[in-house]
A and B are shown apart, each in its own frame.
Chain A
Amino acid sequence: MASFKKIARRSFLVGSAAILGGVAFGTYKYHQPAPNPLEPAAGKAVLNPFVFVDQSGVTLIAPRAEMGQGVRTSWAALIAEELDVDPGKVTVLHGPAAKAYYNSAMMGEVLPGRGYNNSSFQHSLGQVVGHTAKFFDLQVTGGSSSMKDGFERMRRAGASARETLKEAAAQKLGVSRALLETKDGQVLAPDGVTLSYAELAADAAKIDAQEVELRPASQWKYIGKTVPRVDMVAKVTGTAGFGVDTRVEGMKFAAIKQSPYFGAGKRSFDASAAQDMPGVEAILDLGDAVAVVGSNTWLAQQAVDAIEVDWEAPSYPETTDAIFAEIAQAFDGSPNSTMRDDGDVEAALPEGAEVIEAEYQLPYLAHATMEPMNATALYTGDALQIWAPNQGPTVVQQAAADLTGLSKDTIQVHTTYLGGGFGRRIEVDYTNRAVQIAQQMKGTPVQLTWSREEDMSHDYFRPGAIARYRAAVKDGQAVMVHGKIAAQSTTREAAGRMLGLPMSGPDKGHVDAAFNQPLAIPSFRVEGYLAKPMIPVGFWRSVAASFNGFFSDSIIDEMAHKAGRDPLEFRLELARAEWEPAAKVLETVREMSGWSGTTPDGIGRGVAMVYSFGTPVAQVIEVADQDGQIRITKAWIAADLGLAVDPQNIEAQMFGGLAYGLSAACFGEITFDGGAVEQENFPDYDAMRMPSMPQVEVAVLQNQKHMGGAGEPGTPPAAPALANAIFDLTGQRARRLPLMHDFDLLI
């Protein structure tokens, strides 16, 4: 296995492999490669920051958080596609925090434009803008961006590594490189001589990396096919190392109590009941929190529960109603954005047009990853090590540097497997807490695990949101849609806290999946309104699309019914006139589900189509009346990824995204009283379980020109498809979630 011991930090920088592993075009400053973070001992070759070869074989570095989406497998497959190694036979590691591992695709999302109708030129421009992410050291996993980010870079890394190894073999054998072939981790010479990559490693390290054309799609062995997950065996045997599984010699365990009020400090605390409890080794004052370090997590938790703290009062509206009243006030100001304004929504409506006015409201939501927030840290005064299940190693590193005053090159971040991410683990609050504790326990490694109650009540929540729509239909046709959306701004608040970047101007993320839906409506305006910061908000699987998908598809469903049209045919007509791939996903779920426009008594069906993160996804959901209760029985999903790198894995992301969306739609809400979160644990924040999960069929299409994301787009259509199905069954329209308040769900 590769180790990351130091050699001269910049010794490998000049090789073109490093350039290929980083960025491959143009002459701008940011095209210079970032320092190669893999620093091998003598006799080992680091061919570029993504491939590592030594005597034991090939190690591929997939520096993206493996949180269940299969990125380790798919990035390894992209490298293997060019390198000619079996992805099942190589070691795949996450690697250290490093600039070279910046995410080139995510910043591209900030470009204006609807996405689906961007030209290839705009997509290239997206890539260029993406490289500015390097300036921010953004090694992050999010935005359903890993395949878009890695598709070119990983294959180039593999190709360059292959040709460099061949060049080393050519020099050794005294033959032309052109005569050599590669297979299963070996270079093959025409005379039958074979040299393994491992035995060529030392020589390859001495020569400049080679640059070659990438293989055409016709030669692909892994891309487009299902590759067994490299993490599967570990995950079914309990041997995959998650954050909480970190074990370091001499390690202690800690528990924490943070203020129930966001941003509020503490006045005083009384730990007298805790100090003599079994297993307690230290009681720590963290300023705005208290912690107990002990011999095991549970004993530490009992002790921290026994500490009485007098917290400062909250400085924001204290109840759910007051918070939503504040969100609604945003409508009184001027819009932050008008990202779509087709036709004229204010023009007089034609005679006979029927108008719908609807207000929708969605709650704040917690991520509730299965693995609670945790991190392990060891502080030695002049250096710091952090082990954490995180989505942004360089963000963790920067935050720890800010907190401790250490320079970044003395801070090592080890990224473990993530027991769920969903956007929660791009934050650094939980790593900072571990660092704070470690600073007071100099020389002792300490693992901090939050209780589930601490995790649920101290999230960066999906913002609560309100939408006001006015729409019109006439003669069975859509005439006008005017949507206004108000919520706290996830993008602005996160950018401020993570990058220290005050953002201004129109917030595109806030209206994503509302303004950019591929539907041709003659007059179509979407305005975003930003509510003031109150509750900490963050990136929740599909971000604003998680609420906008519900708003924008629900109003379309209401219009279809008002117009007396079949809801699927109504959408299909609007999609076909705007963007063919969106129409195709609707046609596909129509065929899969045998959609006929009618359902027997006791059965309801709903359809939804939402475009987000570059991927149009249509879902049909079927519900059944079971002795007066509603059961979700079936779901059909069609998604167009453009190019599907691993169809079986995409299928898993699609039904997983559906489950995440249905969980929120049925049960998910975070409410506030006295400034504190009212939900504590899974009994009051439940999710889909085996009996409530519908049967699912997934179709993965490849009609569109550009590569779409997979991790998030399955989530936004779930809530509207379910609400539309329940309307079909009951005649009652759901304009607020979760559905459990208004419907009797069988769970």
Chain B
Amino acid sequence: MSKTLRINGKTHQVDLPDDVPLLWVLRDELGMTGTKFGCGVAACGACTVQVDGEAMRSCQLSLGDVEGDVTTIEGLGTPDNLAAIQTAWVEHQVAQCGYCQSGQIMQAASLLAENPAPSDADIDEAMQGNLCRCGTYPRIRAAIHSAAKMMQEA
């Protein structure tokens, strides 16, 4: 089926079966590889994107069910123009292998949009679905607090 998607402010037309998950539309059809495949069962969060600002696992979101504007890591900021949350990630040198970080950042950005000053417990609750096998959690937590401060001061 043919479907029109709004991704990072741009319109894309795709012609695919409607059960293809958004993750694979992004990666294999549109060449937007910032969103990662980790498990395919919504258990690791590597594929997290936002739909109308809400964090969602794109591996479990069928093309036919996508309603609203999609934001991926590519739409958050670029190497030359980082979003505040990405600046905080760089400041705290969070990433190790980096594979899960697109998903971590998209999840955290959604948390901060909803809750501009999250507590440690709020961070635990919001981030528990995002797995990191390198164990970067202490720096993710610190970067979220920094980003919150940065965004409040801005």
Contacts and interface: CB of A to CB of B under 8 A. Distances in A.
Contacts of A299: 17, 20, 24
Contact of A232 (B90, B131, B133): B90
A690 B24 CA distance: 27
B50 interface: no
Contact of A297 (B24, B133, B134, B141): B24
A371 interface: yes
B89 A236 contact: yes
Contact of A419 (B20, B99, B105): B99
A602 interface: no
B138 interface: yes
Contact of A236 (B43, B46, B101): B101
Contacts of A449: 37
Contact of B135 (A226, A232, A417, A656): A656
Contacts of A417: 97-98
Contacts of A242: 36, 98-99
Given A419-B97, A452-B40, A652-B139, 9 more contacts: A231-B95, A233-B82, A237-B77, A238-B73, A238-B102, A297-B27, A298-B24, A298-B28, A691-B124
A29 interface: no
**8 closest residue pairs by CB, A with B:** A238-B34, A659-B135, A419-B99, A235-B98, A68-B96, A68-B97, A238-B73, A296-B28
A245 B82 CA distance: 21
B110 interface: no
Interface string A240-272: 111011010000010000000000000000000
Contacts of A655: 135, 138
Contacts of B150: none
Contacts of B97: 67-68, 369-371, 417-421
Contact of A244 (B36, B93, B95, B127): B36
Interface in A400-433: 417-422
B44 A419 contact: no
B115 interface: no
A232 B95 contact: yes
A228 interface: yes
A217 interface: no
Interface in B1-23: 16-17, 20-21, 23
Given A236-B101, A296-B20, A659-B137, A690 B94 contact: no
Given A231-B95, A682-B131, A451 B38 contact: no
Contact of A370 (B31, B99, B127): B99
Q: Which of A238, A370, A452 has the most B CB atoms < 10 Å from its CB? A: A238
8 contacts: A240-B98, A278-B16, A296-B29, A369-B97, A371-B38, A419-B99, A689-B129, A690-B137
Contacts of B90: 228, 232-233, 236
Contacts of A296: 16, 20, 24, 27-29
A660 interface: yes
A687 B133 contact: yes
A343 B95 CA distance: 48
Q: Which of B21, B124, B137 has the most A CB atoms < 10 Å from its CB? A: B137
A677 to B, nearest CB: 16
Contacts of A241: 33
A690 B38 contact: no
Given A236-B89, A690-B124, A696-B138, A371 B131 contact: no
Contacts of B73: 237-238
A368 interface: yes
B86 interface: yes
A450 B31 CA distance: 19
A682 B44 contact: yes
A487 to B, nearest CB: 23
Interface in A607-644: none
B135 A237 contact: no
Interface string B108-151: 00000000000000011101111111111111110000000000
Please classify the interface of chain B as helix (H, G, I), strand (E, B), loop, or mixed, using the class held by over half of its residues: loop
Contacts of B27: 244, 296-297
Contacts of A237: 34, 73-74, 76-79, 82, 86
A368 B133 contact: yes
Contacts of B130: 689-690
A244 B40 CA distance: 14
Contacts of B37: 244, 297, 372, 449
Nearest to B40: A452
B28 A297 contact: yes
B100 interface: yes
A240 B119 CA distance: 31
A232 B36 contact: no
A370 B77 contact: no
B79 A233 contact: yes
Contacts of A278: 16-17
Nearest to A231: B98
Nearest to B125: A691
Contact of A689 (B28, B72, B105, B128): B128
A640 to B, nearest CB: 21
A687 B40 CA distance: 17
A695 B124 CA distance: 12
Nearest to A238: B34
A693 interface: yes
Contacts of B29: 296
Nearest to B139: A652
Interface string A209-244: 000000000000000001011011111111111101
A363 B95 CA distance: 29
A398 interface: no
A422 B135 CA distance: 12
A313 interface: no
Contacts of B95: 68, 229, 231-232, 235-236
A465 to B, nearest CB: 22
A88 to B, nearest CB: 12
A67 B99 CA distance: 9
Contacts of B16: 278, 296
Interface in A472-514: none
Interface in B36-67: 36-41, 43-44, 46
Given A296-B28, A655-B135, A690-B130, A235 B101 contact: yes
Contacts of B135: 655-660, 663, 688, 693
A65 to B, nearest CB: 10
Nearest to A241: B33
B46 to A, nearest CB: 6
A457 to B, nearest CB: 14
A681 interface: yes
A240 B36 CA distance: 11
Given A235-B95, A247-B33, A419-B97, A370 B137 contact: no
Contact of B133 (A369, A649, A652, A693): A369
A687 B46 CA distance: 14
A657 B73 CA distance: 27
B46 A370 contact: yes
Contacts of A253: 28
A371 B132 CA distance: 11
A242 B27 CA distance: 13
Given A67-B97, A68-B98, A419-B98, A370 B82 contact: no
Contacts of B82: 233, 236-237
Contacts of B133: 368-370, 420, 422, 660, 663, 687
A700 to B, nearest CB: 15
Contacts of B31: 247
